[in-house]
Chains A and B, each alone.
Chain A
């Protein structure tokens, strides 16, 4: 029988399946023996945590959808019914609601890892860009999901953000009417947001598959930012990283459980417990915390189209990042100047978040503009110039032999350096 895969598994059932569809061989290769750099730190857990978050969100979302009604007269009440009458409905709802925050926390840290250690640089540019697509999909999903409970923030957040598209010249207002399915955010909008909110996570799953596939072609980056030179530099993914990721998952679930069970509404907004009222705008319309920096960028430009462009631009600039960073060195461990500027970027992002949380008045306007300008300065000016001007620290020979003199990483200072042997 030509074309059948030659399977190495002894178990007859597994062998039968594997020769016809080599999923077991694939799992063994990609997650069993896959050579992974041995010097990962815990920043490398966050991709796996994001997958866990995605799975939990999909599962809880499906069970919520069994009881949710996407109609403007019933949506808020159906969520309350889930909270009160559906067995464990309060648990499923609070897990899903706080899960959005957990998902963004781990993805933002995952992105920080990529920025700090140069994981976006060649040959991982496409991997990085697929990641940016994933971020955009996540943001669309979260935006539409927040509308579904049909509270005041759901309604007015949807109104503000969909109205942004009217800034597009010529076709803008038409696009907004098309998005709404009417002349304001109303039932057609809610219904289609529900449909798309259910769909997009599965699109995320598909793009995630591409993300991981791209990763497995290039192999993972590592804290030193240098390539794997030999099998000595690596460990099989199982059991080393399966168990290390498990530790991370436990801590992740612990934080999530504390949020859900003790402070489930801490990250939310009280106004979303008031049913949507198209006649009354709340005093402040603010998105959830994970959108605050982008909201700040949007409002920092007094021109509507300018603000929209800058807001989307702040993410689009990530697409071109691999080509704007001219440094020959990947990891900030060996980039003494850029390392500090990375933390400045983090502070900038946090400050932008604070700006987004406050009404655009007084000092916050100034801070918002300065921080927005700095954000773009970092990616579009600092990165290309710094790469050429900065003198990086000397790179170690290999991951197994990172010890030259003093710092570095990997093996502790006292271990003797061993000559590399050919396998």
Chain B
């Protein structure tokens, strides 16, 4: 390509770079009152990332004992817990400890029965209206894909759970709202759900707030991306295969074109 004649050479690449850089800026308006998210280390980060089953199982405990009182996780089945390392008997036992609505009895009355692995996770409320009524008008969001539905994903959830504090001096809180450094607008309807030592971990890990937040976030990431382990493994294989195929195809291309070049 001939060198640019009229415009100085740096102007054009600069235009392109400025444009590209602006496009790369996160595309949503960020409330400037929320501090930037700190990137946590997650076992499922990166190309070779997988779920840390121990953390996810602890997170399941936190979810079950704390979060599930208000939050549904409708897309999850108890049988999905095999993905974080529970075996069939553990799943059956876990599910059987939970009562779910059963079929109507002979006089048409609703019944309850122990849950089976093939059941969805039990929802705390029968419908959204009941959920709102129990939570001051606010609807606790379903957590099945929550980790994918929030900007910042697991880093945001972790920050939020650790982000409760007293409001700064002079800030007027709305009725029933709680101050959180990371929630957009800083006023969140959910009261601080975890304080540390909310559960006693079965595996004996000390249950500090940071630990509980880390574990439940791992579990939420699993709930939103149960296929992650397989997806990453498939990706590694696909990339290696395609790099190889690209290489030999290019070699063949050079061979075929040798008499033209």
B16 touches A343 (CB 8 A): yes
Residue A161, interface by CB 8 Å: no
Residue A270, interface by CB 8 Å: yes
B23 touches A340 (CB 8 A): no
A80 touches B144 (CB 8 A): yes
Q: Give, as a whole number of angstroms, the nearest-CB distance from A215 to chain B.
A: 22
B29 touches A359 (CB 8 A): yes
Residues of B within 8 A of A333 (CB): 1-2
B231 touches A250 (CB 8 A): no
Complex alpha-carbon distance, A393 and B236, angstroms: 48
B27 touches A239 (CB 8 A): no
Q: Give, as a whole number of angstroms, the nearest-CB distance from A211 to chain B.
A: 25
B15 touches A261 (CB 8 A): no
Cβ contacts A292-309/B at 8 Å (1 or 0 each): 100000000000000000
A253 touches B19 (CB 8 A): no
B28 touches A354 (CB 8 A): no
Residue A276, interface by CB 8 Å: no
Query: A271's contact among B149, B238, B245, by CB below 8 Å, is which?
Result: B149
Residue B169, interface by CB 8 Å: no
Query: B145's contact among A253, A264, A273, A283, by CB below 8 Å, is which?
Result: A273
Q: Give, as a whole number of angstroms, the nearest-CB distance from A24 to chain B.
A: 23
Those of B129-151 within 8 Å (CB) of chain A: 141, 144-146, 148-151
Residues of B within 8 A of A246 (CB): 249, 253
Residues of A within 8 A of B261 (CB): 412
B249 touches A247 (CB 8 A): yes
Residue B12, interface by CB 8 Å: yes
Those of B74-88 within 8 Å (CB) of chain A: 74-75, 80
Residues of B within 8 A of A351 (CB): 18-19, 22
Complex alpha-carbon distance, A309 and B224, angstroms: 41
Q: Give, as a whole number of angstroms, the nearest-CB distance from B77 to chain A.
A: 8
Q: Give, as a whole number of angstroms, the nearest-CB distance from A112 to chain B.
A: 12
Residue A397, interface by CB 8 Å: no
Binds A, one of B3-11, B58-66, B202-210, B211-219: B3-11
Q: With A254-B242, A254-B243 known to touch, is A336 a contact of B15 (CB < 8 Å)?
A: no
Q: Which of B151, B184, B249, B252 has the most CB of A within 10 A?
A: B249
B150 touches A270 (CB 8 A): yes
Binds B, one of A65-73, A83-91, A177-185, A377-385: A83-91
Report the interface size class on chain A.
35 or more
Complex alpha-carbon distance, A266 and B144, angstroms: 19
A358 touches B253 (CB 8 A): no
A253 touches B242 (CB 8 A): yes
Complex alpha-carbon distance, A240 and B259, angstroms: 11
Residue B256, interface by CB 8 Å: yes
A90 touches B23 (CB 8 A): no
Q: Which residue of A lies closest to B151 (CB)?
A: A270
B80 touches A84 (CB 8 A): yes
Residue B101, interface by CB 8 Å: no
Residues of B within 8 A of A28 (CB): none
Residue B20, interface by CB 8 Å: yes
A254 touches B29 (CB 8 A): no
Residue B232, interface by CB 8 Å: yes
Q: Give, as a whole number of angstroms, the nearest-CB distance from B113 to chain A.
A: 22
Q: Give, as a whole number of angstroms, the nearest-CB distance from A338 to chain B.
A: 11
Complex alpha-carbon distance, A80 and B74, angstroms: 10
Q: Give, as a whole number of angstroms, the nearest-CB distance from A26 to chain B.
A: 24
Q: Which residue of A lies closest to B153 (CB)?
A: A270
Complex alpha-carbon distance, A277 and B224, angstroms: 20
Q: Which residue of A lies closest to B248 (CB)?
A: A250
Q: Give, as a whole number of angstroms, the nearest-CB distance from A187 to chain B.
A: 19
Residues of B within 8 A of A105 (CB): none
Residue A347, interface by CB 8 Å: yes
Complex alpha-carbon distance, A267 and B155, angstroms: 18
Q: With A244-B253, A286-B27 known to touch, is A261 a contact of B231 (CB < 8 Å)?
A: yes
B253 touches A91 (CB 8 A): no
Complex alpha-carbon distance, A265 and B249, angstroms: 30
A262 touches B145 (CB 8 A): no
A257 touches B19 (CB 8 A): no
Cβ contacts A319-349/B at 8 Å (1 or 0 each): 0000000000000010011011001101111
Cβ contacts A10-50/B at 8 Å (1 or 0 each): 00000000000000000000000000001000000000000
Complex alpha-carbon distance, A240 and B257, angstroms: 7
Complex alpha-carbon distance, A387 and B176, angstroms: 67
Complex alpha-carbon distance, A99 and B12, angstroms: 31
Complex alpha-carbon distance, A93 and B1, angstroms: 42
Q: Give, as a whole number of angstroms, the nearest-CB distance from A364 to chain B.
A: 9
Q: Can you name 18 extra interface pairs (CB under 8 A) apart from A257-B242, A261-B234?
A: A84-B226, A90-B227, A243-B249, A247-B249, A247-B250, A251-B246, A258-B235, A260-B231, A261-B235, A262-B232, A265-B148, A274-B149, A333-B1, A339-B1, A340-B7, A347-B15, A348-B19, A350-B22
In the complex, 14 of the A-B residue pairs with CB atoms within 8 angstroms, ordered by the A residue number, are A91-B234, A235-B260, A240-B257, A243-B249, A243-B253, A270-B151, A336-B5, A343-B16, A346-B16, A347-B12, A350-B23, A354-B22, A357-B25, A359-B29
For the complex of A and B, 7 pairs with smallest distance between CB atoms: A261-B235, A350-B19, A347-B15, A354-B22, A357-B27, A273-B149, A250-B246
